[in-house]
Amino acid sequence: MRAASEGALHESRLFRGLDGKQLEEALRFFEASEAIYRKGDYLHPMGSPLRCFGLVLQGQVLACTDDINGNRMIMTSVLPGETFGESLSFLQVEEAPVYIYASTDTRVLWLSPNGLREPEGSVMKNEIKYRFMAMLAERTLAMNSRIRILSKLSLREKLWTLFGEYIHREGREFTLPYSRNDLAVYLGANRSALSRELGRMKAEGLIDFDGNRFRVRDGEEKK
């Protein structure tokens, strides 16, 4: 496994802190297998079962769904060290309501949840099960954050709430994992309206940005 991929593996909530033998046992437990995808490749189509969940080793994955009018809605962006499809694969949902694709060239570690359904196991297996449950809990918190953003009425309020999440994690300078078009979809906004609002916020001296790299001026983030 490449160095960058190994780094993402050790940064993940599921495998963080495991030594060599523990990591090998954990990977066997999940029947781990690597796959490579090119930008735009689909990892999973909508309406079919997702038998395994994925851990992004390199690149970026988007999980999306469509509204009743066929408009794309981004549910989450998945970066190296993060996972996707945990609940759908564990619950064996036969018609997964999302489609998943690579937004860049991507390497994914596919992991089977079958071992998690076994009632008993060794100390290490019980540790792996606990880590999986903790990972699901973190995913729930992330979805709560998304709901908080989308509940705001104005586009500026949505942006401030999103920026606040990144400020809390990374500080006043951060990189958003979305293109402008994907950011508009994520916020449920029109691309042109988003560009205008960001332009106004920059002109007002509230923020600065270069591509996806943003900086929020001191004292400007909204609580």
Domains in the chain, please, with CATH?
3-143 (2.60.120.10), 152-216 (1.10.10.10)
The encoded tokens of residue 3 equal 């160095």
* % the chain with pLDDT above 70: 95
pLDDT of residue 101: 93
pLDDT in tens, 93-112: 888 888 999 999 999 999 99
What is 165-219 written as a DSSP string? HHHHHH-SEEE-SS-HHHHHHHHT--HHHHHHHHHHHHHTTSEEEETTEEEEPTT
* % the chain with pLDDT above 90: 48
